[in-house]
Amino acid sequence: MKRRDVIGAAVGLASVAWMRSAAANADELAAAIKRFADGAPVTEGRVEFDVAPLVENGNTVPVTVRVQSAMSESDHVKAIAIFNESNPQRDVANFFLGPRAGRATVSTRIRLATSQRLVAVAKMSDGSCWSHSVDVLVTLAACVES
């Protein structure tokens, strides 16, 4: 068994260098959302955030974000951002849409270092921002190689 297998197995969890207080993370999360919203208030709603409440492995977590919108020239989703609370950094992914998207639905797979809150924020063509947050429990493979 190679040592790299031992060490490589747990993504991010082996290193404690990035562990910070929960309060600091929550502040950073709020700041990241504020930056994305560009000064506009962020209202809870219009955004669906599909992610399993209990995740078997934090390495690959499927997520889908859906925003209610006509996606017309005059009324559409310009961008969708996903943020987290307890990973080493708050950003996860930002998606840029527009009327040519047809539907404001994006899917990807993300990494979660630990159980935490996720927030999806949608920025509309009129500048308004909408969000939804979910709490996700992350378990690990019990029979770990390390």
Partner 1 sequence: MKRVAAMMLLVAAPAVAVDARRSGFDDMSPQLQAMQRDDAANPAMLWVKDGEAMWGRECVRCHGDAATSMRGVATRYPSFDAATQRPITLGQRLATHQRTTSLSPESDALLGIEGYVALQSRGLPIAPPDDPRLQPFRERGEQLFRRRMGQLDLSCAQCHDDHAGQRLGGSTIPQAHPTGYPQYRLEWQAMASLQRRLRSCMNGVRAEPFEYAAPEFAELEIYLKARAAGMRIEAPALRP
Partner 2 sequence: MARALITMPATAKRGEVIEIRTLIAHPMETGYRPGADGAILPRNVIHRFTCHYDNVLVFSAELFPAVAANPFIAFSTVATASGTLRFVWSGDQGFTQTETASLAVT
Binding residues for partner 1, rule: CB under 8 A, are: 1, 5, 9, 51-52, 54-57, 59-60, 62, 139-145
CA distances (Å), 36 to each of 31, 82, 112, 130, 146, in order? 9, 10, 21, 11, 39
- Residue 24, interface with partner 2 (CB under 8 A)? no
Which of 25, 69, 87, 131: binder of partner 2 (CB under 8 A)? 87
Q: Which of partner 2, partner 1, none does residue 144 bind to, with CB < 5 to 8 Å depending on kind?
A: partner 1
Phi, psi of 108 (to 5 degrees): -155, -175
φ/ψ (deg, to 5) at 103: -140, 140
How many CA atoms, within 13 angstroms, populate the side-chain half-sphere of residue 46?
18
Nearer to partner 2, 37 or 106 (CB): 106
CB of 105 to partner 1, least distance (A): 14
75 binds partner 2 (CB under 8 A): no
Task: Decide which of partner 2, partner 1, none touches 106; Cβ closer than 5 to 8 Å per partner kind.
Answer: partner 2
**Does residue 101 interact with partner 2 by CB under 8 A?**
yes
Distance (Å, whole) CA 111 – CA 92 = 8
